[in-house]
Structure 1
Amino acid sequence: MDSKNIIVIGASAGGISAVNKLVGSFNGLNNVAIFIVIHISADSNTSILLGQLQKNAPFPCLIPVDDQILQHNTIYLAPADYHMMISENRILVKRGPYENHWRPAIDVLFRSAAASYGNCVTGIILTGMLDDGTSGMSAIQRAGGMLMVQDPAEAEYEDMPVNVLRNMDVDYSLPLEEMPMVLIDHYLRLNCDHQTAPDDVRLEAQITQNMSSDVEELKKIGSPTTLTCPDCGGSLMKIKNEKEPRYRCYTGHSFSALSLEQQQLNNIEASIWVAIRMMEERRNLLNNLAKNEGNIMGRLERAQDMVVHIDRLKEMLLNLHQNGDKTSS
């Protein structure tokens, strides 16, 4: 494998403008391949984002296809609803399981870059909510790469940069306008001598690329828990060698502790709304039966009991969201 300098950039909420501003200042860079994941909805038109990037970018901007050969001085933007990964000198584009409930996912790209190019990788985390990118940055750091985050004071949403800073020492925390000069200086001085990434980083990247795993593989990178995957119901393994808890199921869904908590809250809310709907139907049925056939077996009283239960469930929903807001703030 030829040594290549790799820059991976991850952004979420507020990320489109931040990425455009950063990429537009890359004129002095050379001999690098740049990969970008922006968390966008599955039905987003990535071609529009690509056109915005290309207006100011110094290199060709592409949405890659699966098994495309990696080229220097090119910017690759992950397509909507597909993971983008690096495997040796090729780019993989696959609809694998969600990570932190995102596809494309920042951590999937970052981890694959660390696995393939080790200390030749620079990871950059920009604006976004929750802690997406923290695990991928940890993989890059453990593989010997360089870490850079947007100054949280400048970021439109500070969560992602702040969570990286809480979990590891980064090389640089900078405003967007200062990043290009640091990168130019770094790659002018860097003569990348590729070093192998840790075994667990390479194994997890391989599991994601294969879109499959077995118990023995997961035991090498994690330990069993009593938790279940909120997406598929499978058992979750707690991943080793990371400061903050992270979980992965056999199907391939992966969650940080924060994203797992958020998804559990979403599933609880959905279940409560189903219960409310069933109780509303029950109340309506009892009222209609009482109206047509009389108040046999206390139908009206039982219908009123349903109202009490419905109100309690609605109050539970309100408290659920209030507690969730406190947790995520």
Structure 2
Amino acid sequence: MPGGHCLIAIGASAGGVEPLRRIVGDLPQGLPAAVFIVLHVGEVSYLANILDRAGPLKAMVARNGATFETGRVYVAPPDFHLLLHDGHMLRRRGPRENLARPAIDPLFRSAALSYGARVVGVLLSGSLSDGTAGLRAIKAVGGIAVVQHPKDTLVPAMVESALDHVAVDHCLPAAELGGLLAKLAVEPAGETLPAPPAVRLEAAIAAQEHSTMKKEDRLGELSVFTCPECHGPLWEIEDGDMVRYRCHTGHAFTADAMMEAQALEADEILWSLLRSHQQRAEFTRRMAERERTRGRSTLATRLARRASEYEEDAQVIERILEHRRVQATDDGEASEDGKETTD
């Protein structure tokens, strides 16, 4: 591939489809760079078809083991990380990172390792902070970091995280990013710097070259927390001024992704407890009625009292769940109000 900025890696999440369509639509025919895109998606994605119609560049779903060409757009498929190595694309069902697969960080890290200073990493609209660690890796080897301007996003959290923790080179609205990327693609790249060992290890985990983290491969200090995904121990990683977590299996979390995962886990536990107490109350109530029809009033009274206790426990859990629902709604409204204030 050419010696300029020949590889553009783009990551997006919530609110990312429209800026992706705009950027790809603004890229010129004959772009001397290959474009790789990760969008957090569900089980089905039509993103490649959408982007194929957006502009002159051919867009397609990345194929495992295939080579890639400049002037093409390659999209990560659902439920697979998209990685790059030695001129080839790899699709891997490695551990989820920041609650996502495909995730942005694995693409950015693998691009940084394979193409160094020739990489341009781009982060667009999205929640949480996937992509920040990957952008740090791109910058560490001499690449360029670009983010969509927060005021131009539907969900600014992802780009705000990058602006907080990465020395971003360009911060522009989506309408200006296509032109910027076309310009960067023809500019000579700088010198590639050695990749930090931790970046190599985390890329290997995503590529499933490491089934577990052995003692000598640990990226940080063992924490008191357990992985919300597999419940194994978590290592705390000091990544500059950023704190991240990774388990022995390879699940990875930024601090806000960790809080989100813990909240989801707590909700699952609470709903499970609620169902359990409701079923215990109903079962015990039926047993009380059964004993009452048989003339065993003492046992029936005892069972009825126990059923009432289970119902009271269920009501406590319902109040907790309702409080969490209201709190989540208030937090969301506060976030929207804050965005409107800054616009």
TM-score when normalising by structure 1: 0.92
Q: Secondary structure at the match of 1:37?
A: strand
The question of whether the paired residues in 2 share the 8 Å contact of 1:138 and 1:242 is answered with: no
Identity of aligned residues (%): 32
* Residue number in structure 2 paired with 1:121: 119
Distance 2:81 2:118 in 1: 21
- The 5-angstrom pairing of residues 88-103 of structure 1 reads 88-103=86-101
Q: Secondary structure at the match of 2:162?
A: helix
> Following TM superposition, by how much is the alpha carbon of 1:303 offset from its aligned partner in structure 2, in angstroms?
1.2
TM-score when normalising by structure 2: 0.88
> Following TM superposition, by how much is the alpha carbon of 1:301 offset from its aligned partner in structure 2, in angstroms?
1.5
* Residue number in structure 2 paired with 1:40: 41
> Following TM superposition, by how much is the alpha carbon of 1:322 offset from its aligned partner in structure 2, in angstroms?
4.7
> Following TM superposition, by how much is the alpha carbon of 1:124 offset from its aligned partner in structure 2, in angstroms?
0.6
> Following TM superposition, by how much is the alpha carbon of 1:258 offset from its aligned partner in structure 2, in angstroms?
0.8
The question of whether the paired residues in 1 share the 8 Å contact of 2:201 and 2:217 is answered with: no
* Residue number in structure 2 paired with 1:215: 214
> Following TM superposition, by how much is the alpha carbon of 1:8 offset from its aligned partner in structure 2, in angstroms?
0.5
- The 5-angstrom pairing of residues 291-302 of structure 1 reads 291-294=289-292, 295-297=297-299, 298-302=302-306
> Following TM superposition, by how much is the alpha carbon of 1:326 offset from its aligned partner in structure 2, in angstroms?
6.8
* Residue number in structure 2 paired with 1:317: 321
Q: What residue ranges of structure 1 are gaps of 5+ in the alignment?
A: none
> Following TM superposition, by how much is the alpha carbon of 1:91 offset from its aligned partner in structure 2, in angstroms?
1.0
- Deviation larger for 165-174 or 54-63: 54-63
* Residue number in structure 1 paired with 2:159: 161
**Alpha-carbon distance change, 326 to 253 in structure 1, aligned in 2, over 3 angstroms:** farther
* Residue number in structure 1 paired with 2:55: 57
* Residue number in structure 2 paired with 1:82: 80
Distance 1:157 1:126 in 2: 9
The question of whether the paired residues in 1 share the 8 Å contact of 2:22 and 2:178 is answered with: no
Distance 1:128 1:78 in 2: 16
CA distances 1:110-139 after superposition (whole Å, capped 9, x unpaired): 111112112111111111111121111111
Distance 1:171 1:228 in 2: 36
Distance 1:185 1:260 in 2: 37
> Following TM superposition, by how much is the alpha carbon of 1:319 offset from its aligned partner in structure 2, in angstroms?
3.0
Tell me the amino acid that sits aligned with residue 315 of structure 2: D
**Alpha-carbon distance change, 149 to 250 in structure 1, aligned in 2, over 3 angstroms:** same
Q: Secondary structure at the match of 2:83?
A: strand
> Following TM superposition, by how much is the alpha carbon of 1:39 offset from its aligned partner in structure 2, in angstroms?
0.5
The question of whether the paired residues in 1 share the 8 Å contact of 2:126 and 2:156 is answered with: yes
The question of whether the paired residues in 1 share the 8 Å contact of 2:152 and 2:173 is answered with: yes
CA distances 1:254-288 after superposition (whole Å, capped 9, x unpaired): 11111111111111111111111111111112211
Distance 2:66 2:210 in 1: 18
Distance 1:255 1:114 in 2: 20
Aligned CA RMSD, in angstroms, stands at 2.1
- The 5-angstrom pairing of residues 165-204 of structure 1 reads 165-191=163-189, 193-204=191-202
Tell me the amino acid that sits aligned with residue 216 of structure 1: K
Distance 2:275 2:53 in 1: 50
The question of whether the paired residues in 1 share the 8 Å contact of 2:32 and 2:186 is answered with: no
